[in-house]
Amino acid sequence: MKRLTVSIAISVFAAGFAAEAASSEGLSIRQGFLAFQPKVGFVLPTGSYRDVSHSGIGLQGTVEYYLTNRFSVGASINFTQSSATAEAIRAQATALSSPGGNSAVAHTFNRPAPNTEEGRLVSTTTNPVTISSWKRQVMQYGAYGRYLMPIGSASFSPYVSAGLGIYNVGGSVAGSGATKQELEQATNSQGRTSLGMNLGGGVMFNVAPAVGLVAGISYHNAFSSPATNYFQINTGLNFFFNPGR
């Protein structure tokens, strides 16, 4: 899957450079410009990540530089938050409430559970555990490339993008019947960091020479075990600056 995703990204940008070399008629003059994009949206978990997380909100900020009128490179910071599913909450609360029992943590996250001996939970509590709040959070820092495909006068432009990043998957949890450390370890709220990549597409629309609108969807795949996969749908503003003027 990783090789296929990388191959698609390389093919998309190779085709983009070929088109850029062939023609630049009708394009807005963006080469040499900087652009800043504040965006807001929501996330849709997929795969095994959907088993432990509902849909949620997303906030993103990007800064990019236009190498040509059609191609830009940029850096982004992206935050998503969603609530854990009721099934995941019950599983972790049950595991913590049963010292010495089989841990649902090890099954859910495909790795030895915290405070375990050979995959069995070792908890200091003998009281029923209640998890009152569990938020799943992903903080991503990345770099990307974007290729625009202007239509007509270039006021309206679909685009495709691909990027690499560092993903920190964690969250926050609150409850009773167990220590804060046990709750955080059982729910992986202390955070784990891994590399990942994303592919996306969307549209840009210029409403003024230095201001535009942007909307898009991207697929994120953090190379953790198991993978943290989700779609993110964003909309926001596009501010252009020419540092050479």
pLDDT tens for each residue of 16-42: 443 443 334 334 678 999 999 999 999
C-alpha to C-alpha distance for 172 and 187, rounded to whole angstroms: 9
Residue 128: CA atoms inside 13 Å, Cβ hemisphere, count?
3
Number of other residues whose CB lies within 10 A of the CB of residue 22: 7
pLDDT, mean of residues 143-171: 92
Q: Where are the alpha helices (DSSP H) in the chain?
A: 2-22, 49-52, 86-97, 104-109, 180-186
Structure-token pair, residue 216? 């898009």
* Residue 191 confidence (pLDDT): 86
Cβ atoms of 243 and 34 closer than 8 Å: yes
When mean pLDDT is compared across 17-21, 75-79, 186-190, the lowest value belongs to: 17-21
* Residue 182 confidence (pLDDT): 87
**pLDDT grade for 105, boundaries at 50, 70 and 90:** very low
* Residue 1 confidence (pLDDT): 52
DSSP label at residue 47: T
Whole-model pTM: value is 0.76
Residue 107 has pLDDT above 60, yes or no: no
Q: Is 123 exposed, middle or buried (0-12, 13-18, 19+ CB in 10 A)?
A: buried
Report angle CA 74, 30, 10 to the nearest 5 degrees: 45
- Provide the CA 133 distance to its chain's centre, in angstroms: 22
Structure-token pair, residue 122? 């070792």
> Phi and psi (nearest 5°) for 227?
-65, 150
C-alpha to C-alpha distance for 182 and 188, rounded to whole angstroms: 10
Contacts of 134 (CB under 8 A, 6+ apart): 83, 84, 88, 89, 92, 171, 172, 173, 174, 187, 189
CA–CA distances in Å: residue 90 to residues 97, 104, 115, 124, 130: 10, 9, 18, 19, 9
Residue 188: CA atoms inside 13 Å, Cβ hemisphere, count?
27
Domains and CATH numbers, the chain: 2-84+135-180+190-241 (2.40.160.20)
- How confident is the prediction for the chain on average, in pLDDT? 81
Measure the CA dihedral 229/84/171/186, to 10°. Answer: -100
- Provide the CA 139 distance to its chain's centre, in angstroms: 7
pLDDT tens across 108-156, in order?
333 344 444 433 334 454 568 889 999 999 999 999 999 999 887 668 9
pLDDT tens across 85-104, in order?
999 999 888 888 875 533 43
* Residue 104 confidence (pLDDT): 39
Structure-token pair, residue 52? 């432990």
* Residue 245 confidence (pLDDT): 67
